[in-house]
Amino acid sequence: MIKRKMFYSVVQENNIVGLRKQDGYEITVDGIKFNAYKSMIDDRVYILDPKNGIAVFIYSNDTDVLPHHDLVEKAKDEFIKRGVFERWKEKCDTESYQLTNKMFNAYKKAESLRERQKELVQREIEENRRQQDNE
């Protein structure tokens, strides 16, 4: 089953790692939930581990012009068929995998703090304007 979902993915631009909010889908493989989205930049479907926001499978489809939902479904089928899901499951017990999950949680915390800081700065700017207007 596939359902719509907003989530974060890890991105790296100019050697800086951060998060990007994605509008995609939640998919389930063998009872395990993953996030998936179709990139508007390169027309690839990314299947992400929701515990760390990292792509575990990238599906390129150059032939079919399908709705996003159907492309995600095809990517899910290939994820299983190519054995990537089974290889992913083997890596989940490693210490490095657990540390990656902790880093992702720290990035999400930093992102929420950044959003809160932006709101506070905006509020402070508005308060300063009001004070200047009253003087």
Average pLDDT over residues 25-50: 93
CA angle 96, 76, 38 (to 5 degrees): 90
- pLDDT above 90 for 65: no
Tell me how far the alpha carbon of residue 76 is from its chain's centroid: 16
- Domain ranges across the chain: 2-134
Region of poorest pLDDT, from 37-41, 65-69, 121-125: 65-69
Task: Identify the DSSP state of 39.
Answer: -
Residue 4 belongs to what H/E stretch? Answer: strand 2-13
User: Whole-number mean pLDDT of the chain?
Assistant: 92
Look at 40 and 90; give whichever has higher pLDDT. Answer: 90
The reported pTM is 0.83
Task: Identify the DSSP state of 98.
Answer: H
Give 28's contacts (C-beta < 8 A, 6+ positions apart).
1, 34
